[in-house]
Structures are given as C-alpha cells and as structure tokens.
Copies of this chain bind each other. A is one copy, B any other.
Amino acid sequence: MNSFGRLFRVSIFGESHGEAVGIIIDGCPAGLPLHSNDFSDDLSRRKAGNKGTTPRKEDDKPEIISGLFDGHTTGAPLIILFRNSNVHSADYDAIKNTPRPGHADFVLHQKFGGYNDYRGGGHSSGRLTVALTAAGVVAKKLLPFATIQATLIEAGGDKDIDRAIANAIIKQDSIGGIVQCVVSGFPTGIGSPFFDSVESYIAHLIFAIPAIKGIAFGSGFASASMTGSEHNDAILNETGKTKTNHAGGINGGITNGNDLTFKVAVKPTSSTPKQQHTWNRTTNSIEAFQAKGRHDLCIALRVPVVVEAVTAIALTDLLLVSQRIDLIKPQ
C-alpha cells in the first residue's frame, strides 16, 4: 500500500516515465496559506544539476489540483501533481530482461508477474521523492514553531563532501553518504511507547525513501558501547532540558523537548557507471552489464531535503494524533 499517516495522511502515486508523479495529502487543516512558490526552495534543493547528480532535469512545477481555494487550504484533500516531461524511456528497454544489480527490477518483476512499469524503475523510482518533498513543504508550514534541518555530513566515507564527489567523478563509481537531521523547537510529550514511538514513526518514513539502509537516533550505534551513567541525560529543570542529548530527544518513544537528532545511511547509487554483471532472463546466463539512463553519482546529495520532508510528515501526524491541533491551527 502506498499511504501513511492517521490524521495527516499522504498517498503517493505515479511512475518515473509515466504521465506524472504526485501525492495526496488528506487531513491538512483548513486555512493554511499555500502558494506554489512555497515549494520552490525545497524542490530546488532536491533538484539535479550539480556535480554528482543526474543530467535528467525536470521542471518540477507543482500543480495543486484540489484542496486549495483563494490561496488557502480548504480542509479537503490536497493533491499535488508533477508532470513528467524529460523522459527517455528507450534507455530502459534492456531492463525488461536484464534486471539491474542493486535495483528492484528483479523483485518487481517477480512480485507483479511482469506487469510492472519497468521504465526507469516505474513506481519505485527515486523520481517520486519529488512528491514526498512537496508534502514535506506543507507539513513544515504546519510546524512553524519547529526547525527541521538535514545535512549531508559525509560522502563516500569522506567528511569533505566536495572532495568526495571529485573522487567519485575521477573513479567513475557511485558513492553513498550519511545525512544528519536535527529538529529544534518541537514540543514535549508527543509520541507513545511501543508502536507509535517517535522512532518507529520517523524510521518507518525514512525507510520509505529509496536507498536508505540505516537510521540511528541520538548516540545511535555508539550508545551500544556506552555505560548507563555516560549515556543517561540528566534532567536539569522543569522544562525537561537535559545536560547531554544521547537520547536524541526521545525517551520511551516520546519527545522530551530537547533537539530530536538522528543519522541516516544512504547507500551508493545502484546505477554506477562501472561495468557490472547480472543475470539475463531470456538467456538465463550471466552477462556484463553497463547502466544506461541518466543517474546520480551521489544520490545522497539530494537526500537531505527528502529526509526533512518525511520527518515533517511524521511529526505533523504525531502532533495531530496527540490532539495538539492548538499548536498548528493556522491563525
């Protein structure tokens, strides 16, 4: 299924080489001022065109075809559409029979009995993160009291990102990276123990982003080597502010008023320029494989804004489920 959320619910649709991709947002409160310009900054952060990103450039112009009237949300479902224009489907003919290594081509064929739209990954394409990004813009506008900031802090194992990209270009091999996200100003008491923990919610949506292979909150995997007396964050006063923040702002699945912090591992783009091998469905033999199509050398460059988007979506839904509409009610 392709939707998530209880009261702020997103439903994603579309294919990389189909007519359009987009998203429905159901449950956006009425009265939020919204204009297509609001999307520009985040959409351009996600856009291709820099070194290390794909040469496929889409207009990424959001069409809001329902749920907006006189410049404000109406309370009815918002649907935001992005037309696909810059489509080179012929590049993908080969993958009908030669599933690309690292990609979902093989499993999609198995799962859907060969009926999936295989062009450019079809519905599974990273192209659909433009829709997540757009939904994130709306969610962020509902959380004016919070700042959500994601940054690429490492690429290809190197904290100097420019150098990492330069090396990848020289080596002509794709690389991954690590994205850090910090949320400040979010209220205390949101989330629940067990299935609605803030970690569960955020992780669920983070792993909805293609190419993510890990997430860790606060001190994360390093906490496994710490002692309790080191790791515990001492509460300093009645606001719940703590001396350290090893917990990443979450105790027992519930926000504690300190910064929410987590890191995300992005694997290297599967479509590397390097020659590889794969199995051919027609000949049932292994053969050399060279990625066609237009691809990112370091998809991690474009991930931070998507991480912010899904974080904002998760937090907005949790806030509404926690009945804190008073915080987000448009004035």
Contacts and interface: CB of A to CB of B under 8 A. Distances in A.
A16 to B, nearest CB: 11
A293 interface: no
Contacts of A247: 102, 213, 267
A270 interface: yes
Contacts of A207: 197, 199-200, 203, 253
A268 B66 contact: no
Contacts of A232: 101-102, 270, 272, 276
B122 A76 contact: yes
Contacts of A269: 228
A267 B216 contact: no
Interface stretch (A46-54, A141-149, A320-328): A320-328
Contact of A192 (B1, B188, B216, B248): B1
Interface residues of A, number: 147
A237 B174 contact: no
Consensus secondary structure, chain A interface: mixed
A304 interface: no
A133 interface: no
Contacts of A196: 1-2
Given A66-B14, A200-B204, A107 B252 contact: yes
Given A11-B3, A13-B76, A218 B228 contact: no
B106 A256 contact: yes
Contacts of A79: 13-14, 22
B223 A116 contact: no
Contacts of A102: 228, 231-233, 247, 251
Contact of A221 (B112, B195, B265): B265
A253 B233 CA distance: 35
The 7 tightest CB contacts between A and B, nearest first, are A104-B252, A228-B272, A214-B216, A157-B225, A174-B228, A76-B123, A102-B232
19 contacts: A3-B11, A30-B111, A30-B112, A30-B115, A30-B116, A75-B111, A76-B122, A99-B235, A102-B231, A102-B233, A107-B255, A157-B225, A175-B228, A199-B212, A203-B215, A213-B248, A221-B221, A226-B268, A323-B323
